[in-house]
Amino acid sequence: MELLICILKDYRHVEAVLLGFVELGVTGGTVVEGRGLAQVVGSDHPLFASLRGLFPGSSHDSQVVFSVMATAHIAEAIALIERVTGGLDRPGAGMLFTLPVFNLRGLALEIA
């Protein structure tokens, strides 16, 4: 099992990602709204606010998707996210990473 964490800069991609997860057989996920470093620091410090243009997408809130899934689904989930976003290698598109999950309570997963 792995925890996939995906930070999407475009809120319009969230629904497509979640629907794609369901099609893959991944039925659990949580989405929270987040603010990046450039937003937080820039709002309090005028000097940093003027540098905000250096961080693509920093003027918008991010959508953070958390989903625990069987390791067998990870490659497909990443491919799906890349398709939906047009590629996370594009500046300001977002980012993702996975972490191993060693203990899990409260969620039943079918391990493929």
Contact status, residue 9 vs residue 61, Cβ threshold 8 Å = no
pLDDT at 81: 97
Name which CATH class applies to 2-34+61-100.
alpha beta
pLDDT in tens, 56-78: 555 568 899 999 999 999 999 99
Burial of 63 (0-12, 13-18, 19+ CB in 10 A): buried
The average pLDDT across 30-53 equals 68
CA nearest to 36, candidates 47, 52, 16, 50:
52
Name the pLDDT band for 112 (thresholds 50, 70, 90). very low
Comparing 86 with 48, the larger pLDDT belongs to 86
| pLDDT over 90 percentage in the chain | 59
| Token output for 5 | 């964490």
Query: In the chain, which residue ranges form alpha helices assigned H by DSSP?
Result: 14-24, 37-44, 46-49, 71-85
Contacts of 38 (CB under 8 A, 6+ apart): 48, 51, 52, 54, 55, 58
Region 14-27: what's the mean pLDDT?
A: 94
Task: Indicate whether 108 pLDDT > 80.
Answer: no
